Structure 1
Amino acid sequence: MHQIEDHLVETFVTYSVEVRGRIVIVENVPARVDPQTGERFFSPETVEQLRVLVWSDRQPDHTVETPVFRFAA
């Protein structure tokens, strides 16, 4: 990790999104992160690569099991 102008930190993050009713996780995604808010910013090229990857039928590198909770107000 290294500091860049405007206080954002270049690092690698884990990105997750729901696609076709399943959660897809992508590890080691390059991003700029605001250390105060945690907000993540991705380059247009990274966004395009994520779009292609999560909508592809490619086999995942590995699979994880994760608990799911229903929020009750």
Structure 2
Amino acid sequence: MMSDCNEMLVEQKVTYSLEMNGKFFVIENVPARVNPETGEQFFCPSTVERLQQIILNQEEPVRFVETPVYNFAT
């Protein structure tokens, strides 16, 4: 089955999350183009650069979230 080259992408604000060096980062209101069928998110290069700046420069967060961590293995 071939992929449709004319996929419909919708401009949305999404929440981007990343784990790096044992730290979990959450960045809200990130502009993205989203495939409504698959949920796949696409970011423009300038958005990716800004995400990297926020994380690597450890900018001041707007808030903190307490997150429980579970172990899948029994």
Does the pair score TM above 0.5? yes
**Length, aligned pairs only:** 69
Question: Could you give the per-residue CA deviations for residues 19-66 of structure 1, whole angstroms, max 9, x where no partner exists?
Answer: 221100000000000000000000000000001111113221100001
Higher helix share: 1
Listed as ranges, the gaps of 5+ residues in structure 1 are none
Identity %: 51
Structure ID, larger Rg: 2
Equivalent residue of 2:28, what SS?
A: strand
Name 1:55's counterpart in structure 2. 56
CA contact (8 A) 2:7 2:35 kept: no
1:45 and 1:58 map into 2 onto residues whose CA distance is 17
TM-score normalized with structure 2 length: 0.85
Listed as ranges, the gaps of 5+ residues in structure 2 are 1-5
1:15 and 1:26 map into 2 onto residues whose CA distance is 5
